[in-house]
Amino acid sequence: MDYAILMILFPLLGVVLNGFFGNRWSGKAAGILASTMIGASFVVAVMITMQLIGMDPHHRMEEIKYFTWIKVGGLNLDFGFLIDPLTTVMILVVTGISTLIHIYSIGYMHGDSRMRLFFVYLNLFVFFMLVLVLGNSYPIMFIGWEGVGLASYLLIGFWWEDQSKAEAGMKAFVVNRIGDFGMLVAMFLLFSHLGTLTFTEVFDAAAIKWGHHIGNATITAITLMLLLGATGKSAQLPLYVWLPDAMAGPTPVSALIHAATMVTAGVYMIARSNLLYMLAPTSMTVVALVGGLTAFFAATIGLKQMDIKKVLAYSTVSQLGYMVMACGIGAFGAGVFHLMTHAFFKALLFLGSGAVIHTMHGALHHVHDHHTDPQDIRNMGGLRKYIPVTFSTFFIATLAIAGIPGLSGFFSKDEILAQSFASGNMLAYGLGLAAAVITAFYMFRLVFLTFYGEYKGPEGSAEGLHESPKSMTVPLIILAFLAIVGGYVGLPIVLGENVNLFHNYMHPVFAHGQEVVHHHANHLSHATEWLLIGISVAAALVGIFLAWTIYRKQGKVALPDAAQAGIDKVLLNKYYVDELYNFIVIKPLIGICNFAWKIFDAGFIDGILVLGSAKSVRWIGGGVRRLQTGVVGNYAFMLAVGILVLLIAFLVN
Amino acid sequence: MLPRDFIPVLITFLVVGGFAWITLLATHLLGPKRYSPEKMDTYECGVDYRDDARSRFSIKFYLVGVLFVIFDLEVVFMYPWAVNFRELGLFGFASMGVFLVILTIGLLYEWKKGALEWE
Amino acid sequence: MFEQLISDMHVSRMLPEILVLVVALAAILVDIVTPAGRSTRPVQITSIVGLLVVIASTLFVHNNGPAFGGMVEIDSFTIFFRVVLTMLTIIIMAVSENYIQLVKIRIAEYYLMLLFALFGMMLMTMANDLLIVFLGIETMSVSLYALVGMSRHRESSNEGALKYFLLGSFTTAFFVYGIALLYGAVGSTNILDITVYFQRTGMNLPIIAWAGTLLVLVAFAFKTALVPFHWWSPDAYEGAPTTITAFMSTAPKAAAFAAFLRIFYVGFGEVSDGWTTALWWIAVLTMTVGNLMALRQDSIKRMLAFSSITHAGYLVVAMLTYDVIGGAAMLFYLVIYGFMNIGAFLVAIALNRNEDDDRGYDINDYKGLAFRKPLIAFLMMIFMLALAGIPPTAGFFGKYYIFSAAVKSGFIGLAVIGVLNSAVSVYYYLRVVVTMYLKERDEKTEGRIFWKPDMAFAVIVCAVLVMYFGIAPDQLLKVATASIGALW
């Protein structure tokens, strides 16, 4: 499987070609090139997966070492890949969805003056994302982790002429640094206690060291620090605040990075470290709680958002909460399963919203209106007549996320809920179920306000409403197909012992951890399972029914921001969390910084240390330079003096 | 050897010295005497024997000098080699062959570059 | 009576060196048959192809041991430098043709001199006898004197060549005098005999042996441009055609350090306490003075020339450790320094506005280069980061190995001074990066860019190697460790 390296080389080649020579061809050509590269990576990913599936189920793991990377002191790190079922799921999702979104972007970014740069960044992102999921050790994963953060920063602030967009990029970057701090501390702890950072070695060593001391303080600290990293990247409480702002980036970016792939890195990392988490039950509880609360909390904010992308952003935070919660209750496989199905339908939702925005843009442009917000759902309505393809695919995705049986979202969400019930963590189950109702509600609210009812855009702009180009609709259709069938690889256990193919495929990844702690999956009786499925479906239907009643039957229209009051206002303002952070963290920090800047930095450091030393160095430099007179006689003389001095020094010795 | 045996040597000395002395004397007495500054010069070679050290002279002298040294040394190498030709055998022969090939290429080079032409 | 002598010659062990000479002769013949005034491309191609054969013969023909009756030693150390020096020469030759057309040098002697210099350098790296070192140094130096003065119509080129020649001959005199003194004390110029002699005497040497050691040290310090014997280098570096500056600051320096290492580790190792003190001060001075001089340069060429003095200082730090770790660090640094410095110089050539103009290498020409020529700017950034010793470039590991070796050997003060100096050097290296990436484009300073395919290829090769050894330094370090091991 050595050719796995090709997977990361293709995107890198795309970066190099477009980045350095791209000004020789058009933006569209750059897009096609970039898409081809990712497509090639996808092909490699499929080949790798096929090869792995062809292997004996118990030995479906291959570690490829390419070269010795760092050999310093006790640290001996190879640059290598770890390929197991978990990796293959991740690489298929990453390269597959990336390919579709690259193609979509060719249409979406058409006419942008920096289109080439956009594809450079996008390819760079895919490169780092693949390093993240393929790496065989924590440091390599961390390189990818930082790299995707960089690419995300560059892409959120892609239209940096707009101050708020540049600031959104900054916010994402800064908030993620807090999480990275946790990652680094976790790595230091792992290295100092186990002496290695390669996944396989870490897990073996941890199982030996802590296998009989489950709940040891060190492993708990390590896993909590890892969780801090995950809350940053996967936008969990309390570090989720950057993700909604990240919607400032171009919509394909939101779909790819901030919905389908990068934000799932935290979930991937927890699933990868499952053995460590199994050794720390306290951390597991914290993980489950963080995930459950995030799922519920973000869903409630989603209820009242008016910006089509903001709704989807909070929905993403909420769904990520599900995945993290699944990991927290020990259902790692269910978490990864939801990660996959979510990638399909959420990418579809974002691309669909992008198509809607694209359409609205065209309509507004038609009447030369540059004030109306093309993303505000209060300006939409009735769009289903104008853009049928976008509507039908968007609707499929909505059904999937709401958890309607037969679509992918149902299978994965139901598995998480059933597992959390089985684990006995009723708080998690309760939060998950409540979030499911709310999710169904706000998603259908979004659909009703956007696609049904009367068009509420400016006068005459309706004539400008057109379906998006083929390069955008084709990826939508492919994703819609995946959003429907993607769940059938993981049918509920109740339909038969071996129908959950996904679960069986992933099992070896998590088996080791379960053996170490003698964990046995809790089995539910068939009756209970059917009951839980019924409850899930009912929850979804209740949410949809409520949305229908309010926004279709009563025809309620969302009010302007100023007219909101009470709990609505609190929700609209996202519980004032940004304001709270601003008040308790940022303001005092700025105060301290100002003090430090004026007194310490400007006065002492700059004035005395930096400028002082720089000045003296420069001054001496000027003096030394003057010795270089250019007169060869002087040189010979000074050379002779040098020899003489040395000779005398020698003799004195 | 007795001192008597050296008598032929002494005779040779006398004959040589006498010849030189007689020749010089004869030219001095018989030859016409027309003095000129060049003739009164110490070496009578056209170059001032006392002059400013910083004067210029053609770079071509330097070139000729270098070329002379190279081919002069060639002969210096060849003498001891020729004396020991048999003992050195094939190895010695090949070595000298290589040496001469290199020198020949050098000669071709200087020829091609025009180093052998005065103007 | 000659059989024994002849069998001790082992001429075949010097196959690569002989091949270099054959290549040189072939190049001369090619030059002879080329009509006057034509391009020197055939000579260039002959030379490069020939040197590739030299590398192949080095890598694939294994025949180690002493040759010429023990006057030279072919071991893994020699082979390491053979390959490195030949590679550097090939890179320089590959980019030279277009460049020498540009600066109107247009004579085949340019390549011939490079070949002869290479031969001299190879001789230096294998020399086991002070006289062979002398022979190698002179062969190399005479070629370099000529190369520095190749831009005959440019005054600074002639000036640099003459100064280099005068000071060089001055030092040669000291060197020969040193050899003579050592011969007087030891009765041999072979370093193995010298070692035996020092083993007998220990640190209790007669003055003439001390003076001889010192004068040999001075000669090497001169050739590697260590302070206070560096005076020739700024003028020679500035005067030389820039390809030659790039060459001189890397390959001959590496060769001189190789001979320096062999003579002092093997020959004078027994009295290392004596020369390390002197080298300690030389290292401190070299690092600091080079930095201070580079600090205020506005010309990229001068900045790189001065900073190459500093880098020689780092190398001396590694050499001072007198053990395998330090020696390996030194070889590692010599290699990566060769690639990053040549790369930086080549980018400077690409950007230079006018070779004859004093301000042809002004840093202001780099304003906003990242927006004008992203690839060139990116490559230059790699080289600057590498020279400044910032990861993930090879420069980082190079410095890391050197300073950690120094600390391990107890030269903590020296390591601190070295690290401080590299911190200072970050200023002028990053200044270039800042100018390229953060300054607005200035139409006034934008000149033509001399970016030919051969140049692009060479620069990219350098950049890839610099990055490769930065990401995977291990293999090169292993090779370096094995090579330096030959000296023990």
C2 vs B contacts (CB less than 8 Å): 84, 87-89, 91-92
Interface check B117 vs C, CB under 8 A: no
Nearest residue to C337 via CA among C483, C477, C462, C454: C462
Q: What is the mean pLDDT of residues A578-594?
A: 65
CB-based contact (8 Å) between C289 and chain A? yes
Minimum-distance CB partner of A647 among C211, C274, C378: C211
Nearest in space to A424 (alpha carbons), one of A309, A358, A523, A506: A523
With 0-12 / 13-18 / 19 or more C-beta atoms within 10 angstroms meaning exposed / middle / buried, residue A566 is: exposed
Looking at the structure, tell me whether residues A476 and A433 fall in a common domain. Answer: yes
CB of C38 less than 8 A from some CB of A? no
Q: Do A78 and A145 belong to one domain?
A: no
Question: Residue C72: what pLDDT?
Answer: 92
Question: What is the per-residue pLDDT for C90?
Answer: 95
Backbone torsion region of residue C250, taken as left when φ is above 0, otherwise alpha when ψ lies between -120 and 50, otherwise beta: alpha
φ, ψ (nearest 5 deg) of residue C449: -115, 125
* C2·B105 Cβ contact <8 A: no
Q: Please answer yes or no on whether C295 and A618 come within 8 Å at the CB atom.
A: yes
Q: How far is CA C420 from CA C9, C281, C291, C305, C389, in A?
A: 49, 16, 11, 20, 12
Q: CA–CA distance from C181 to each of C175, C188, C194, C197 (Å)? A: 10, 10, 12, 14
CA distance C115 to C143: 9
CB contact C210 to A (< 8 Å)? yes
How many helices (H) does chain C have, and how many strands (E)?
Answer: 21, 2
CB-CB contact of C20 with C49 (8 Å)? no
Distance from CA of B111 to the nearest CA of C (A): 9
Looking at the fold, whether A600 and A558 belong to one and the same domain comes out as no
Element (H, E) at A236: none
Give the three-class secondary structure for C72. Answer: strand
First to last CA, chain B: 59
Residue A634: band (very low, low, confident or very high) from pLDDT cuts 50, 70, 90 = confident
Q: Does B28 touch chain C (CB under 8 A)?
A: no
Say whether C69 sits in a helix, a strand or coil. coil
Q: Are residues A230 and A321 in the same domain?
A: yes
User: Quick check: A156 and A172 in contact, CB under 8 A?
Assistant: yes
Q: Residue A618 has what pLDDT?
A: 58
Whether residue A582 is predicted with pLDDT greater than 80 in this model: the reply is no
Task: Give the DSSP letter string of A286-344.
Answer: HHHHHHHHHHHHHHHHHTT--BHHHHHHHHHHHHHHHHHHHHHTT-HHHHHHHHHHHHH
Residues 119 to 178 of C: which have CB under 8 A from any A CB? 162-163, 166-167, 170-171, 174
pLDDT at position A63: 86
**C104 phi/psi in degrees, rounded to 5:** 60, 45
DSSP labels for A50-112? HHHHTS-GGG--EEEEEEEEEEETTEEEEEEEEESHHHHHHHHHHHHHHHHHHHHHHHHTTT-
- The residue among C474, C475, C477 with the most chain A CBs within 10 A of its CB, best to mutate, is C474
Report helix, strand and coil shares of chain C as percent, to nearest 5. Answer: 80, 0, 20
Cβ contact B–A (≥3 pairs, < 8 Å): no
Cβ(A266)–Cβ(A232) below 8 Å:
yes
Distance between CA atoms of residues C59 and C53, nearest Å: 10
How high is the pLDDT of residue B46?
65
Q: What DSSP string runs through B76-89?
A: HHHHHHHHTHHHHH
Tokens of A153: 């920063």
Q: Quick check: C345 and C242 in contact, CB under 8 A?
A: yes
Element spanning C230, H or E: none
Q: Beta partners for A72?
A: A75
> Is the residue at B63 inside a domain?
yes
Neighbours of B, requiring at least 3 CB pairs below 8 Å, are C
Return the DSSP state at A162. S
**From CA C346, how far away is CA C456, in angstroms rounded?**
9
Contact A55, A1 (CB under 8 A): no
Name the minimum distance, in Å, from the CA of B51 to any CA of chain C.
24
Nearest CA in chain A to C401: A72
pLDDT tens track for A547-561: 888 877 776 665 666
Nearest-by-Cβ selection for C167 from A630, A632, A647: A632
Percent of chain C, pLDDT > 70? 98
Is B15 inside a domain boundary? yes
Residue-range definition of the domain harbouring residue B32: 3-48+55-112
| CATH number, residue B97 | 1.20.58
Say what the pLDDT of residue A72 is.
64
Would you call C303 an interface residue with chain A, using a CB distance cutoff of 8 Å? Answer: no
Q: Do residue A649 and residue C278 have CB atoms under 8 angstroms apart? A: yes
Boundary residue ending a domain (A572, A597, A620)? A572
CA-based nearest residue to C324, from C411, C409, C416, C226: C409
Alpha helices in C389-447 (DSSP H): 394-408, 412-438
Q: Does chain C reach chain A with at least 3 CB pairs under 8 Å?
A: yes
Is B119 part of a structural domain of the chain?
Answer: no
Chain C, nearest residue to B98 by Cα: C22
Of residues C274, C375, C472, nearest to A67 (C-beta):
C472
Tokens 């139409």 belong to C443
Residues A110 and A142 in one domain: no
Q: Do C31 and B109 touch (CB under 8 A)?
A: yes
Q: CB-based burial of residue B99 (10 Å sphere; 0-12 exposed, 13-18 middle, 19+ buried)?
A: middle
User: Token pair for residue C213?
Assistant: 């050691």
**Residue B117 in domain:** no
- Percentage of chain A with pLDDT > 90? 5
pLDDT score recorded for residue A503: 80
DSSP secondary structure letter of residue A583 = I
Rg (CA), chain B: 24
B105 vs C1, C6, C28: nearest CB: C28
Tell me, yes or no, if C464 comes closer than 8 A to chain A by beta carbon. Answer: no
Mean predicted confidence (pLDDT) in A521-535: 79
Q: Summarize pLDDT for A259-294 with one digit per residue, the tens.
A: 778 888 889 999 999 888 888 888 888 999 899 888
Bridge partners (DSSP) of residue C362 are: C299
The average confidence (pLDDT) of chain B is 84
Number of domains chain A contains: 3
Q: Are residues A237 and A359 in the same domain?
A: yes
Instruction: Supply the angle between the helices C374-388 and C394-408 in degrees, to the nearest 10.
Output: 0
- For residues A31 and A149, state if they share a domain: no
Same domain, A131 and A142: no
Look at residue A528 and tell me whether its pLDDT is greater than 90.
no
Which band of pLDDT confidence, cut at 50, 70 and 90, is reported for residue A562?
A: low
The chain-wide mean pLDDT, for chain A, equals: 81
The answer to whether A75 touches A197, Cβ cutoff 8 Å, is yes
CB A289 within 8 A of CB A329: no
Q: Is the pLDDT of residue C436 over 90?
A: no
C332 interfacial to chain A (CB closer than 8 Å):
no
Q: Which two tokens stand for residue A441?
A: 């509600």
Q: What is the pLDDT of residues C453-473, one digit of tens each?
A: 889 999 999 999 999 998 888
Answer whether residue A403 shows pLDDT above 60: yes
Rounded Cα–Cα distance for residues B58 and C470 (Å): 55
Band (C176; pLDDT cuts 50, 70, 90): very high
* Cβ(C283)–Cβ(C260) below 8 Å: no
Closest chain C C-alpha to A412 CA, distance in angstroms: 40
Asked if A271 and A373 count as a contact pair (C-beta separation under 8 A), the reply is no
Mean pLDDT over A568-588 rounds to: 66
As a whole number of angstroms, the distance between CA A492 and CA C346 comes to: 64
Spatial separation of the C-alpha atoms in residues C477 and A542, rounded to whole Å: 67
**pLDDT band for position A217 (cuts 50, 70, 90):** confident
Residues belonging to chain C with any Cβ–Cβ distance to chain B shorter than 8 Å: 1-2, 6, 21, 25, 28-29, 31-32
**A548 vs A495, residue with greater confidence:** A548
Regarding whether A637 and A561 lie in a shared domain, the answer is no
Residue A376: phi, psi to the nearest 5? -80, 120
Domain count, chain B: 1
Its domain, for residue A620, covers: 578-652
Whether B84 contacts chain C with CB within 8 A: yes
Residue A203 has pLDDT above 60, yes or no: yes
For residue range A140-177, list pLDDT tens digits in order: 898 888 888 888 888 887 877 777 777 777 788 878 88
Residue A608 — pLDDT band, cuts 50, 70, 90? Answer: low
CB of C215 within 8 A of CB of C187? no
Please indicate whether, in this complex, the C-beta atoms of A632 and C166 are within 8 angstroms of each other. Answer: yes
DSSP conformational letter for A495: G
C284 touches chain A (CB under 8 A): no
Nearest to A109 by CA among A99, A119, A121: A119
Q: What are phi and psi of C167, to 5 degrees?
A: -65, -35
Across the A/C interface, how many CB contacts are shorter than 8 Å?
89
Q: How high is the pLDDT of residue C30?
A: 93
* Region of residue C449 (left: phi > 0; alpha: psi -120 to 50; beta: else): beta
